[in-house]
Amino acid sequence: NAGVTQTPKFQVLKTGQSMTLQCAQDMNHNSMYWYRQDPGMGLRLIYYSASEGTTDKGEVPNGYNVSRLNKREFSLRLESAAPSQTSVYFCASSGGQGAYGYTFGSGTRLTVV
């Protein structure tokens, strides 16, 4: 089925460990986004990529890096995980046309202990 695929679905890390969250979309969308969702805080934008080859910081970029590997893939890396990064992470994509909305992945639930 067409859509946004995120891996892994669940992950537990120890403080200081690193990991990469993967995201891929098969809708030929130009724009891709990474959000984190915390209780009471809603969705906050971490980084986004308006098109292949470009990335920009969002509202809460500290502690994260991203790579837009190609048009399909947009990964999020935690270099040295901290308990404050415990959250649910969502990847989204958009064709830039607005009217069809933003398509979200099913999320990665990350716990840092």
Partner 1 sequence: SQELEQSPQSLIVQEGKNLTINCTSSKTLYGLYWYKQKYGEGLIFLMMLQKGGEEKSHEKITAKLDEKKQQSSLHITASQPSHAGIYLCGAEKGGSYIPTFGRGTSLIVHP
Interface residues toward partner 1, by CB under 8 A: 31, 33, 35, 40-43, 45, 48, 50, 58-59, 90, 92, 94, 96, 98-107
Q: Cβ of residue 16: shortest distance to partner 1, in angstroms? A: 28
- Pairing of β 19-25 and β 4-7: antiparallel
Q: Which two tokens stand for residue 58?
A: 């969002």
If the CB atoms of residues 26 and 59 are measured against partner 1, the closer one turns out to be: 59
Q: Which residues pair with 32 in a beta bridge?
A: 49, 93
If the CB atoms of residues 7 and 103 are measured against partner 1, the closer one turns out to be: 103
Q: Cβ of residue 65: shortest distance to partner 1, in angstroms? A: 19
Q: Cβ of residue 29: shortest distance to partner 1, in angstroms? A: 10
Which burial class, exposed, middle or buried, applies to 5 when counting CB atoms under 10 A from its CB (0-12, 13-18, 19+)? middle
Are the C-beta atoms of residues 17 and 113 closer than 8 Å to each other? no
